[in-house]
Chain A
Amino acid sequence: MFAYIVRRILMTVPVMTLVAIIVFMLLHLSPGDPAAIMAGDNATIDQIAAIRAKLGFDQPLWKQFALWCFALIQGDLGNSLFWGDPVIVLIGQRAEPTISLALTTISFAVVVAVSLGVVAAANPGTWIDRSVMGFAVMGFSLPVFVVGYILIFVFAIDLRWLPVQGYTRISEGIGPWLHNLVLPSLALGMAYVALIARIARAAMLEVLSEDYIRTGKAKGVAARPLLLRHALKNAAVPIVTVIGIGVALLIGGVVITETVFNIPGVGRLVVDAISRRDYPIVQGVIMIFAGIYVLVNLLVDLSYTLFDPRIRY
């Protein structure tokens, strides 16, 4: 098993190298010149060229790539072209809102979805099952920004229960922090509730049909503890897999949700950076998101052994 873990960790190295190449090429082979944007409206062509030289953009591409990779290995993501601050510091300042949003969304989605899935699986074919599944399809079909604006319209503008936008740091209290995160988590969580509820239901149905559960039932083990203890534990494997896949989806959703609710997170940082051609930020954020994705999937793979003792490598 140790050998498996080491091999699995080593596999991340070529993946991250590929990501680095793809990201660098995508940015540097596309039109759009940060120097022209930085120089401003009244700049002459000579001024733009001077700025380009200062930034090192007149160097051959392979050299720029080599320099970037070399710094990357040392943990240096470079400095923002516009603010001059180190990219790692800018991401650090924006990390808390994004991590908070991701965590509240996942917790909300998992709790709601697994409950829905279990309830549906316990009553297969009934109206409860059908409405849960109907909701799951609906939740999957609505774009996150449409859900977001509907929530803002109803709960923030009309009823005035919750704030329209913004983010409060967790250091200012759990209450205010949660207050700001309720609507964004709901909007962003909708698709995950739908996704995870379906999987949870299917996994539960499969497990419930297996012999040892039927045996348990026949032996007269009380229905509820049986469902939860045995079945849920076994259904955890597919559910965890989906959460792993969901991280990629979540990162995409975060970008849109942060724009709708004006949350000063990493997603907005990178969208703004793309339109300004602030290459170091775009490269840095994509590298970090890719790193998180790789890491989460590594953990998911390793956690299989935790949830299902039958899986051994």
Chain B
Amino acid sequence: MTARDLAIFARRNPTIVAGAAILAFMTVIAIFAPFIAGDPRHMNPVNRLLPPSAAFWFGTDGLGRDIFARCVYGARISLIVGISVASASVAIGLAIGLAAGYFRRLDNAIMRLMDGFMAIPAILLAIAMVSLNRATVAIVIVAIIIPEVPRVVRLVRSVVLSTREQPFIEAAISGGGRSLKIVLRHILPSTIPPLIVQATYVTASAILIEAGLSFLGAGVPPETPTWGNMIASSRLLLARAPWTIFFPGLCLALVVLAVNLLGDGLRDRLDPRLSRRM
């Protein structure tokens, strides 16, 4: 692809390019955090609540930690939470959804189980799981995956059901093809485009739920730098030291925005049908 092609692609798909560019930038920052910023956990109460300056670009928080360093390392946790929730819930949801959509006898049982999980408010389930157990990144991730899975299952199942009715699948089934082969070769591919779109929305929602859990005091441990944690632990300082909330808030909004833009753009390209329905 030449630079000219790239320019044409960008002009036709401005949302994909904008979203992907912001995300790529944040990912680079997350990966190379140790080269960019200092120790995000180092506390020095003498330096508490300093406004942004040459020494502390984004200022310091209530424990005298460097907000720039915490924002940079915070990108790691937010992206890890977002990506692992998205990939795990898509993988689990895809398997269950394929089974439900293809093996009609399992369908009813599986879908009632999914309904049961969907009926429990996600945030309450997550708060309960995290505060009843230990607050670790792993538990937060699991607590967010559980309510996301049923949504993926529903999507996959609906795609499988509509694909199943296509003549070539019916032919394959009546021709005595093996179930697994039919599912993998013929049905799976049609679920990929809507799933990619869905995965971006799950990523955005996971990042927001992690922030909400931290806000309610049921998130990852407070010394772990995450944007949600930073906002939660500084929220009393809104009037006194706005930078403690402004910078992590900006990072959070920017990444969620980027993911959503990417999702919208991919949806328009990959799944025009879904784009009309959603």
Contact = CB atoms under 8 A, between A and B. Distances in A.
A–B direct contact (CB < 8 Å): yes
B270 interface: no
- Dominant SS at the A interface? helix
Interface in B102-143: 112-113, 115-125, 127-129, 131-133
B216 A137 contact: no
B123 A255 contact: yes
Interface in A138-157: 138, 140-146, 149, 153, 157
Given A19-B120, A27-B128, A238-B277, A146 B239 contact: no
10 contacts: A16-B119, A19-B116, A23-B120, A26-B132, A31-B132, A137-B261, A141-B260, A146-B253, A153-B239, A285-B124
Nearest to A146: B249
B216 A271 contact: yes
Interface stretch (B28-36, B52-60, B207-215): B207-215
B16 to A, nearest CB: 13
A199 B274 CA distance: 11
Interface string B215-242: 1111000000000100100010011000
Contacts of A294: 115, 119
B82 to A, nearest CB: 13
Interface in A114-148: 137-138, 140-146
A32 interface: yes
Nearest to A142: B253
A259 B124 CA distance: 14
Interface string A102-122: 000000000000000000000
B212 A145 contact: yes
A232 B275 CA distance: 19
Contacts of B239: 153, 157
A274 interface: yes
Contacts of A304: none
B17 interface: no
B112 A11 contact: yes
Contact of B264 (A137, A259, A270): A137
B132 A140 contact: no
B121 A289 contact: yes
Contact of A18 (B116, B132, B264): B116
Contacts of A145: 212, 215, 231, 235
Interface residues of B, number: 45
A248 B121 contact: yes
Contact of A143 (B118, B128, B131, B208): B208
Given A22-B116, A30-B129, A146-B253, 14 more contacts: A14-B116, A18-B113, A137-B264, A141-B204, A141-B253, A141-B256, A149-B235, A202-B278, A251-B121, A252-B212, A274-B127, A286-B121, A293-B119, A293-B121
A15 B238 contact: no
A205 interface: yes
A290 interface: yes
B52 to A, nearest CB: 19
A255 B216 contact: yes
B276 interface: yes
4 closest A-B pairs by beta carbon, nearest first, are A18-B116, A30-B132, A252-B123, A290-B119
Interface string B247-278: 00100110011001100100000000001111
A199 B132 contact: no
A232 to B, nearest CB: 17
Given A15-B115, A145-B215, A270-B124, A198 B278 contact: yes
